[in-house]
Structure formats: structure tokens, C-alpha cells
């Protein structure tokens, strides 16, 4: 039976559904709380700068980037990039996202172990992401077991990357919420609403890990069927 019609595809269907639900959830949750303005009128950029300065990270820049939920911290260039929907927005959703990204900058400055591990394995996981499946397919077509085995080993780096990403993201969110509370940036219902946004975002990382695990399981089953 041709590879693309292999019945093991059914294994990844739950992962696809989970990822779709998680993405819809984070988008709808962010949109909902993007309409709720914080009482103090802070923007995402204001909060990011305040938290960075409070932690002595004066050298970390803040830039505005296009896109929706394209926010991220770039450790190579020492810059927090906030999307159009966060940078100048005073919504509780924007405040939560901005504080979360700054949390990553603080993690790097403090040498947080999981983020150091994640940064170290990024090059290998990128190779695994691009080459693992083609190697396994080629190994199946040509009946070359070393290709299959090496492809599976490469893909485990992708799974490990997704796994180590979870504590990194969860910790950044905890830091963000604690900072927003302790510095009286958000309180009461505002803080609860911001937490819902970050929780929805965290679910997308759980979905990514589940998807990677199911894909790895499928590759292992394909390898096992070939041996039989």
C-alpha cells in the first residue's frame, strides 16, 4: 500500500483536531479580551518597558512587528517584538501577552535552565523537523532500515523540543501574572481575564507536543510494519 494511504494516518487525526481546537480557542479568547481595556490605560509596550526596567534589562529593546499574535522574544538580538494587536493596545489581552514575552527575556537573563536547554537543541530540532520524515519515507521506499532508524531518532529531537517548551512557556506565564499582580498593573477581574488568554495560548503548546508524539508513534509503527 502506498505510503500516503497508510492506515496509520488515523493516529494523527486526534492530534490535528486537538491542534485546531486549541488554535480556535486562543484566537477567540484573545479577540474577546482584546475588547476589554485595563483601568490604568497601560499599553502592551508600556507594560513591557516597565517590567524590563524593573528587572534591570534596560538594554532589551521593544519593537513592533506586523501580524496577529506574532509576539516573541529574540535573544540573539536582545529584543522583545510585540505584534500590532499588542504593542499599542491597552486591552487586558495585550497586557498579558506583553508581560509573557518579557518573561522570556527575564528567563534568559537569569539563566533559567529549561530555556537554556531549549535554545541549545533548536538547531538539532530544526534539522529533525525538516529531514526526519523524508528520511523515513525514503527508507521505507528503498527498504533501507538505517534511514528509517535515523529518521526516527531525528524526530525524537522534535518531540523533546516540544516537551521542554512546555515548562518554558508555563513559567513565563506564571512570571507574567505574578508581575502584573505584584506591580498593580492589573487586578481582580482584569488579572483573571489576562490569565485566560495566557492559558489558552499555553494549550497550543500542549497540542503541539501531542501532535509530535502521535507523529513519532506513527513513524515507529511504520518501521515495525516494514520489519514484519
- The answer, yes or no, to whether residue 179 has pLDDT greater than 70, is yes
Percent of the chain with pLDDT over 70: 96
What phi, psi does 91 have (nearest 5°)?
-75, 160
Reported confidence tier of residue 225, pLDDT bands at 50, 70, 90: low
Provide the strand spans (E) within the chain: 61-65, 72-74, 79-83
3-class DSSP state of 2: coil
What pTM was estimated for this model as a whole? Answer: 0.91
- The answer, yes or no, to whether residue 1 has pLDDT greater than 50, is no
pLDDT in tens, 10-47: 899 999 999 999 999 999 999 999 999 999 999 999 99
Which residues participate in catalysis according to the annotation? 101
Q: How many domains does the chain have?
A: 1
Q: Which domain holds residue 187?
A: 3-227
- The answer, yes or no, to whether residue 4 has pLDDT greater than 70, is no
Query: Measured between alpha carbons, how far is residue 208 from residues 47, 139, 172 in Å?
Result: 29, 26, 18
Cβ-contact 204, 23 below 8 angstroms? yes
Rounded to 10 degrees, what is the CA torsion of 97, 98, 99, 105? 110
Amino acid at each position: 500500500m502506498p505510503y500516503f494511504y497508510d492506515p496509520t494516518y488515523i493516529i494523527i487525526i486526534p492530534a490535528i483536531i486537538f491542534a485546531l481546537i486549541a488554535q480556535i480557542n486562543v484566537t477567540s479568547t484573545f479577540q474577546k479580551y482584546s475588547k476589554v481595556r485595563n483601568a490604568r490605560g497601560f499599553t502592551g509596550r508600556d507594560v513591557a518597558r516597565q517590567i524590563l526596567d524593573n528587572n534591570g534589562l534596560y538594554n532589551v529593546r521593544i519593537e513592533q512587528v506586523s501580524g496577529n499574535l506574532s509576539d516573541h522574544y529574540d535573544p540573539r538580538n536582545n529584543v522583545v517584538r510585540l505584534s500590532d494587536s499588542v504593542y499599542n493596545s491597552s486591552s487586558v489581552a495585550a497586557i498579558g501577552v506583553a508581560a509573557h514575552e518579557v518573561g522570556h527575556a527575564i528567563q534568559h537573563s537569569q539563566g533559567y535552565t529549561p530555556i537554556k536547554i531549549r535554545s541549545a537543541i533548536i538547531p538539532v530540532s530544526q534539522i529533525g523537523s525538516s529531514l526526519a520524515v523524508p528520511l523515513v519515507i525514503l527508507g521505507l521506499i528503498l527498504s533501507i532500515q538505517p534511514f528509517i532508524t535515523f529518521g526516527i531518532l531525528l524526530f525524537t529531537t522534535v518531540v523533546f523540543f516540544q516537551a521542554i517548551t512546555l515548562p518554558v512557556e508555563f513559567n513565563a506565564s506564571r512570571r507574567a501574572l505574578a508581575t502584573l499582580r505584584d506591580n498593580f498593573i492589573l487586578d481582580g477581574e482584569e488579572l483573571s481575564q489576562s490569565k485566560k488568554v495566557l492559558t489558552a495560548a499555553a494549550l497550543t503548546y500542549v497540542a503541539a507536543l501531542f501532535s509530535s508524539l502521535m507523529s513519532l508513534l506513527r513513524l515507529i509503527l511504520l518501521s515495525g510494519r516494514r520489519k514484519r
